[in-house]
Amino acid sequence: MAQRVARAIAERAVLLVEAGTGTGKSLAYLAPAVLAGETVLVSTATKTLQEQLYNQTVPLLSRALGRPVRAALLKGRTNYLCLQRLGEAQRSPGLLPEDREWLRRLAGWSETTATGDRAELHDLPDEAPIWGRVTARADECLGQSCPAAEGCFVLAARRQAQRADVVIVNHALFFADLALRDAGVRLLPEADVAILDEAHKVEDVASQHFGASVSDARVRDLARLGRGALKAGGAREERADEVVDALLNRSETFFGLMGRVPDRALSSDSLPAGAEEAARALGAALRVLGSEAHGLTGKVPPSSDEEDPVVRGMLEATSARADLMRAELEGMLAFRDATEVVWVERGRRAVFLRSAPVEVGSILAEKLFGVVEAVVLTSATLTTGGTFAHIKRRLGVDWDCEELVVPSPFDYARQTLLYLPRDVPPPQHDAFAPVAAAQVERLVRLAGGGAFVLFTSFRQLDDVYRELQGRLPFPVLRHGDRPRQVLLDAFRRDGNAVLFATSSFWEGVDVVGDALRLVVIMRLPFARPNEPLTEARMAAVKRAGGSDFMDYQVPLAIIALKQGFGRLIRHRDDRGIVAILDTRLVTRRYGEVFLRSLPPALRVYHLEALEHQWGLTRRARLGREAAGGVAPRPEPDAP
């Protein structure tokens, strides 16, 4: 793999590599990247992998090469503490006691941290609202006029990236950079070589960044900034309040209407009555705020007072944000672009109007493959049914590019039992939850805990969790109850815990060793066909003459299933069971395509046979640990 990556860099080619778990994929691309003698961008989907590359793989490589490696870790700006916003938050009135306590801790941390990266704050919950107040999105940053620019963590990270040979970023930042290039904005250093790991996520991340999103929460944020900016910039109090209150009222009307539309793709015909008028009113209110702020910008007199650049920065940010939001809102509701899908999403704290391109292929052809000379796309899960055809179709790679499959060195037939029961009702059946819960109970008891139980929705997770409450004699952890990292640490520490989790635990989670010995997959991870973007993509596949199910849904679900399956074996000494309770795998014809795509584990169809095999595996393990021997190969079970 290292040689092929080196060749792709030298020959300015596009290379697709599927490298199974345990192949040493990261080293195989980082080594040629470092030796290339030019700036290389390495991008990952998850921050976990990004940090692992920077904190573990780069030092390892540096030791192996016997010389320092000039690498930099660069994340999206909202990962860094903003000193200016921290100061503003500390000065703001009406703080809740817990926010005041957090601000005190953050201020202390800001004086000791070298990076300002929130990843250092292990006990800050993922969703903690306080973080949003002390970090600056692009439109909140005062840029050149910021009085805190000298100690700014974002600018420091960018300076380090400019000096590095290998810049490790995540896909969100990578695609934000590509999307902003046309507007003359650059977030990343110039590079002719990009290596995208976890490349199975590229389509989704690219869709997000080449689309748009406006929400009532974003309007409220702007209103907060705008009110302060107008008043500090010299507007009459009443005028500032009038402009901002009008904006908030109109936002409430518009998003109130949009919050009631069905969860489907929108068109001009499906907009609720009054929505167009409400959108026009909201656009007009944004225009007024933007022009008031713009008008005041020129009137802030230059002086030595350090407040002045801050006020000017706030006014400029207000004006720019209002203009951008209006353009996005108007653009989405014009429904001019037939290649784009527009929909409404209801979050816990906001209603979003979003848009995304249905196909990213032509965009990537222009903005990625047409700009970056050498691109390596790699992942442990890129092929489906043994070919790269699906990922190539989705990413618009319609030429014969270089391809490579590096199989995992693990002996799955010896290390993994794949349990495929036939006596569980189909997952859409009412009886599924109680029967599946009973299976989970027996499986967890068999393995003695140490289990991930993976769901495709919180609703199903809650159903099964309720069924099993008090029935499992092991510590039970539930996704959503505590931050993800805290749950994982508790799981690893305990050794016998059972974790109930949904999609974000299907991938990017590494539990090496005996703490994880059972992975239960409740149902095949098909994308919801009525989810607007999925629906639009399926329709596009059909229009192009393909099958929306076999050519889109099935390959996508195979990649997700391979990821879930891949949680179990992370080391050559790991042993365990993967149980897939969705019987469609054995009753439907397409099930065979899924099974062909999975690692060659020993299939077991009956619980009794599984109990027998698992007993052998555990005894062999104990014997092997005692005598240093090799585990016997398990015996097959008849379907």
Using an 8 Å Cβ cutoff, are 376 and 370 in contact? no
Nearest approach in angstroms of CB 245 to ligand SF4 is 26
| Residues in region 343-382 near ligand SF4 by CB under 6 A | none
Q: Which residue is associated with the tokens 């969703």? A: 127
**Residue 601: how many other CB atoms lie within 10 Å:** 22
Cα angle, residue 422 at apex, residues 420 and 427 outer, rounded to 5°: 90
Query: CB under 8 Å, gap of 24 or more: what pairs does 252-261 form?
Result: 252/216, 253/278, 253/281, 253/282, 254/278, 254/279, 254/281, 254/282, 255/215, 255/216, 255/219, 255/351, 255/353, 258/344, 258/351, 258/353, 259/344, 259/346, 259/351, 261/344
In angstroms, rounded to a whole number, what is the distance separating the alpha carbons of residues 210 and 364? 10
Phi-psi region of 584 (alpha: psi -120 to 50; beta: other; left: phi over 0): alpha
Taking the chain, what is the end-to-end CA distance rounded to the nearest angstrom?
37
- 357 forms beta bridges with 340
Nearest approach in angstroms of CB 297 to ligand SF4 is 17
Tell me the H-state helices in 547-628: 554-565, 584-587, 591-597, 607-627
Handedness of CA 195, 197, 200, 202 (dihedral sign): negative
Residue closer to ligand SF4, measured from CB, 309 or 421 = 309
Q: Which of 36, 41, 61, 83 binds ligand SF4 (CB under 6 A)?
A: 83
| Closest residue by Cα to residue 9 from 35, 27, 43, 44 | 35
Burial 502-523 (b: 16+ CB within 10 A, else e): bbebbbbbebeeebbbbbbbbb
Residue closer to ligand SF4, measured from CB, 84 or 415 = 84
- Asked whether position 154 contacts ligand SF4 by CB under 6 A, the answer is yes
In angstroms, rounded to a whole number, what is the distance separating the alpha carbons of residues 82 and 166? 25
Q: What are 427's two structure tokens?
A: 């997952």
Residue closer to ligand SF4, measured from CB, 121 or 155 = 155
Nearest approach in angstroms of CB 159 to ligand SF4 is 12
Nearest approach in angstroms of CB 404 to ligand SF4 is 41
Residue closer to ligand SF4, measured from CB, 73 or 453 = 73
Nearest approach in angstroms of CB 111 to ligand SF4 is 14
Handedness of CA 424, 427, 430, 432 (dihedral sign): positive
Residue closer to ligand SF4, measured from CB, 49 or 89 = 89
- Asked whether position 310 contacts ligand SF4 by CB under 6 A, the answer is no
H or E, element range at 454: strand 451-454
Q: What are 254's two structure tokens?
A: 């518009």
Nearest approach in angstroms of CB 164 to ligand SF4 is 20
Nearest approach in angstroms of CB 282 to ligand SF4 is 27
Q: Which of 15, 53, 69, 82 binds ligand SF4 (CB under 6 A)?
A: 82
Residue closer to ligand SF4, measured from CB, 75 or 85 = 85
Nearest approach in angstroms of CB 292 to ligand SF4 is 22
Residue closer to ligand SF4, measured from CB, 307 or 398 = 307
Q: Which of 84, 318, 319, 456 binds ligand SF4 (CB under 6 A)?
A: 84
Interface stretch with ligand SF4, choices 150-158, 419-427, 486-494, 544-552 (CB under 6 A): 150-158
| Residues in region 90-149 near ligand SF4 by CB under 6 A | 136, 141-143, 146, 148-149
Residue closer to ligand SF4, measured from CB, 138 or 300 = 138
H or E, element range at 551: none
Nearest approach in angstroms of CB 212 to ligand SF4 is 23
In angstroms, rounded to a whole number, what is the distance separating the alpha carbons of residues 408 and 219? 49
Q: How many residues bind ligand SF4 (CB under 6 A)?
A: 14
Q: Which of 72, 152, 559, 595 binds ligand SF4 (CB under 6 A)?
A: 152
- Asked whether position 168 contacts ligand SF4 by CB under 6 A, the answer is no
Compute φ and ψ for 99, nearest 5 degrees.
-65, -40
Nearest approach in angstroms of CB 153 to ligand SF4 is 7
Interface stretch with ligand SF4, choices 3-11, 83-91, 156-164, 178-186 (CB under 6 A): 83-91
Q: What is the DSSP letter of 234?
A: T
In angstroms, rounded to a whole number, what is the distance separating the alpha carbons of residues 170 and 188? 11
- 578 forms beta bridges with 418, 519
Residue closer to ligand SF4, measured from CB, 156 or 490 = 156
Interface stretch with ligand SF4, choices 81-89, 356-364, 440-448, 603-611 (CB under 6 A): 81-89
Nearest approach in angstroms of CB 155 to ligand SF4 is 6
Residue closer to ligand SF4, measured from CB, 82 or 257 = 82
Residue closer to ligand SF4, measured from CB, 172 or 196 = 172
The DSSP line for 516-539 is: --EEEE-S--PPPTTSHHHHHHHH
Nearest approach in angstroms of CB 8 to ligand SF4 is 36
Nearest approach in angstroms of CB 637 to ligand SF4 is 59
Residue closer to ligand SF4, measured from CB, 5 or 141 = 141
Residue closer to ligand SF4, measured from CB, 86 or 487 = 86
Query: Footprint of ligand SF4 on this chain (CB under 6 A)?
Result: 82-85, 136, 141-143, 146, 148-149, 152, 154-155
